[in-house]
Amino acid sequence: MTQPYSLMIHGGAGALEDLKYEASADDFKQSIVKILEAGRARLEEGDRALNVVEHCVNLLENDPFYNAGKGSVLNENGQVEMDAALMNGSDLKAGAVTCVKNIKNPISLARQVLEQGDHVMLAGEGAGKFAKLYKVEICPDDYFITPGRIKQLKEAQAAGRIVLDHEKIKQKLGTVGAVARDIHGNLAAATSTGGLVNKRWGRVGDTPVVGAGVFADDETCAVSATGYGEQFLRTVLSKTVSDYVYFKGMNATEAAKAGIEYLVAKVNGEGGVIVIDNAGKCAAAQSTSGLIHGWIELGGESICKLG
């Protein structure tokens, strides 16, 4: 028997009210709803949650509005170094890549790592070699780097700061992620990012770390996180949200809220999570004023929220 599907995506957390978008709030809403509808089409056909979260994140990575794939933020050397990971809730299989360069869709490289199955995470040059082996698309530097990102890096460096893409200094919005429950009742989660503006060369954030920036378990929920990666690493935030479901019997709404309360109480953390539980309930919570996200709960209409 099939079950109703649910899908959530996000485009990063931050202080949205201070932004001057290169795109308007309406542009973001349109982008989010379009991607949700693309995911819906696949879920209705019976596609697996893992394929759908990869596809939705591909679309977000290809859109220069977001800090992932094309339009990623720049590190201290003016380079794009990206992190991505995805996880399948039925068997806890996961794939992750970190500090990758010139990969058009880091989430699809992470998917290859998952499919090949020998390892969970590949880094840097080795991940690049693996990409060539499995014919994952490679693009030149100028595909990724946008004028807005060069300006943003200069501002961050002038201020001597390492910042979230979503802070005032930024021009565009953040890290991307997707969580889904398919008609077979399986959950999956995916997260992809360029990381923090002016981050150190070689820095690894929460996004590619299973349990920190991404987690999925059919018995509990699927989670994708966005915010200051170091804080999400120290609190293992995505797994913490799942643990609230597993050990305390919370639903998605309660677990998302409890997770963010924990993030704030423990490390005064800044960021947000999107969560779908094993009943298909969708929830988001954040400690920042904004979180660009949208959802389709149990086959209902597409809804987008920027805060």
- Which C-beta is closer to ligand ASP: that of 206 or that of 218? 206
Q: Segment contacting ligand ASP (CB under 6 A): 222-230, 238-246, 254-262, 278-286?
A: 222-230
Q: Helix H segments across the chain?
A: 25-44, 49-62, 106-116, 124-133, 141-144, 147-158, 229-234, 237-248, 252-267
- Which C-beta is closer to ligand ASP: that of 212 or that of 216? 212
Q: What angle do CA 264, 173, 161 make, to 5 degrees?
A: 65
How many chain residues interact with ligand ASP (CB under 6 A)? 17
DSSP letter string, 37-52: HHHHHHHHTT--HHHH
- Which C-beta is closer to ligand ASP: that of 89 or that of 227? 227
- Which C-beta is closer to ligand ASP: that of 43 or that of 189? 189
- The torsion angles phi and psi of 197, rounded to 5 degrees, stand at -65, 130
Determine whether the annotation assigns residue 204 to a binding site: yes
Q: Rounded to the nearest whole angstrom, what is the least distance from the CB of residue 2 to ligand ASP in the complex?
A: 34
252 neighbors 281 (Cβ within 8 angstroms)? yes
Distance CA 59, CA 55 (A): 6
| Residue 196 near ligand ASP by CB under 6 A | yes
Tokens 């953390």 correspond to 269
| Residue 205 near ligand ASP by CB under 6 A | yes
Distance CA 289, CA 13 (A): 8
| Residue 174 near ligand ASP by CB under 6 A | yes
* Residue numbers annotated as active site: 175
Q: Rounded to the nearest whole angstrom, what is the least distance from the CB of residue 159 to ligand ASP in the complex?
A: 18
Nearest-CB residue to ligand ASP? 229
Q: Rounded to the nearest whole angstrom, what is the least distance from the CB of residue 274 to ligand ASP in the complex?
A: 12
What are the strands, taking DSSP E only, across 90-237? 93-100, 121-123, 176-181, 187-193, 214-216, 221-227
| Residue 75 near ligand ASP by CB under 6 A | no
Kindly tell me which residue out of 195, 211, 280, 294 binds ligand ASP, with binding defined by CB under 6 A.
195
Which residues here bind ligand ASP, judged by CB under 6 A?
12, 67, 164-165, 174-175, 193, 195-196, 205-207, 213, 226-229
| Positions at the binding site | 203-206, 226-229
